[in-house]
Structure 1
Amino acid sequence: MRVLVTGSAGFIGAALTERLLARGDQVQGIDNHNDYYDPALKEARLARFAGHPNYTHARGDVADAVALNRLFRDFQPERVANLAAQAGVRYSLKNPQAYVQSNLVGFVNILEACRHNQVEHLVYASSSSVYGANRKLPFAVEDAVDHPVSLYAASKKANELMAHTYSHLYDLPTTGLRFFTVYGPWGRPDMSPILFADRITRGEPIDVFNHGNHSRDFTFVDDIVEGVIRTLDRVAQPDLNYDATQPNPGASSAPYRLYNIGNDQPVPLMRFIELMEHNLGRTVEKRLLPMQPGDVPDTWADVSALRRDVGYAPSTSIEEGVAKFVKWYREYHHITA
């Protein structure tokens, strides 16, 4: 297939691009290479496949409608995987405009381009953060998500609503994927795995919020990519059993679907830190701090809808995933001891 991947130099986007190329797809990537974190990491990810004969890269921003429309016209993608977004909950407290441009303006540009270029299926990244203040566990796509606790979460909920509008009005098949705490090789340096690894390696104290009482549904990046590919291949269809008098937020009478992608096995944060210490071969001081604004105490994905519709659910154990992450971290940073 001809697949457009936005955010193709990002953490998940680069991993997805590699997998698509490996199975023979022709991939057009686009990434703005911004400096939210060290752009050198994006360049290193991109270097893994930039010379592939079936890959073409564009340095551009999805918020630039003119450039994006030109890219769609030239490449004529059959499927689109939209992973470009301004990420991070805490950064949204400092720079909300970045989220408006990338996650709202950029997303409507993607929808318009898909609409006008006969794209067969749009798969886009949502987030477990949309569950916000919900306390019913596990989180299910059938749950209402009307109480976000960060602008990042609100922007992702907005993406889901915008996608449904285009599915309803223009019969554009769309599938939203709510990612749960993705980690693994080539991850973002603003996320806890690399932050923890950096400090543990240097023997510095680590900050542990909510006094260590968090739990997270940590999901290994390879499992996320497998879920993206399976949903990309399964074009969203209208739910023939949809009942408008008892609406299901995860489906519609339009060609629209939502899925959680998580491990369905929440892990206490302190256990995650313990595994990091074990694999890095040293222990460090933990500074127990209060809950951060915009954060939530626990996440846990109900993946029954994903399992039912595409026959897949993530399966990498936290022990296996952390070991693979630390192995990459040591190699990338040339750490031998």
Structure 2
Amino acid sequence: MRRCRVRAAVADDYGAPDVLEVREVDDPKVGPDYALVRVHAASINPVDYKIVEGGLDAAFPVIWPLITGWDVAGEVVGVGPAVRHVEPGQAVFGYARKDFVGAGTWAEQVAVPARGIAPAPRQLDAVAASCLPLAGMTAWQALVEDLEVGRGDTVLIHAATGGVGHLATQIALARGARVVGTCREANHDVLRELGGEPVTYGEGLADRVREVAPDGVDAVADFSPQGSLAASDPVLRSPGRVVSVRDPQAAYERGGTYVFVRPDVDHLRSLAELADAGRLAPRVQSVHELADVRAAVAEASEGTVRGKVVLRVE
């Protein structure tokens, strides 16, 4: 039987953004515990362009042609018989990570495992909602599960205006913590608008942190691409309350944890609740049409993004 065709951004080999092209592919197959989603928007994360470059080749099996993308917001088209918490016609958002790469969200339709999808926040449009799953759950799992950040804590967040960091800042504040965040000086006002207290990266960081937090900090969350735990050692007053998304060994040496975000329906629901309460708002730097995927990926990989770059699909 001939299958339907959908448009997707695909690559036939690893490489720079110019290996991507938009063309028709077979529509996704939907397993018993999957939901088929009509994609309205898909945000771009660093892992996405690393997949295109071949950076996860040793970690995941790959299906060719390669369709990347793990974040999605859209509408449920259909569900497998084991899916009970979302239904056709419902607005959803999700983290569509599978046990392989190659059937991702940069397409008109995507099959999403039930463990990674939930009803979308009512107060966010699809573009904004697509920014939450991967980055928001990374922040949630780091701050809430691992660091147990709460009222009375002072937490140092590295890369506090980045894709994960700007959400982590808001989550920590919503839980009653005080946030001191590292970022470029050009982003200091951005962090102040979020409610954090900015300090600049680089030599002398510990002294600058002490200027705003003389007694040091209770916890450190490192979302910096370069890894910044060593610079935090002099100001951390609670040994072991450290987490990194960049450097597992550095985190383990300090008695902390490493986060590679996992799909979790309850965590998605928690993010949606914060968004609907006005406590969590993704920053969108730019929106590109699917046909402009090369430019979108090039922009997202520049390393100076404030918030998220998003592909609008439908």
Same fold (TM over 0.5): no
TM range (shorter): 0.3 to 0.5
TM-score by length of 2: 0.34
Specify which structure has the higher proportion of strand: 2
Specify which structure has the higher proportion of helix: 1
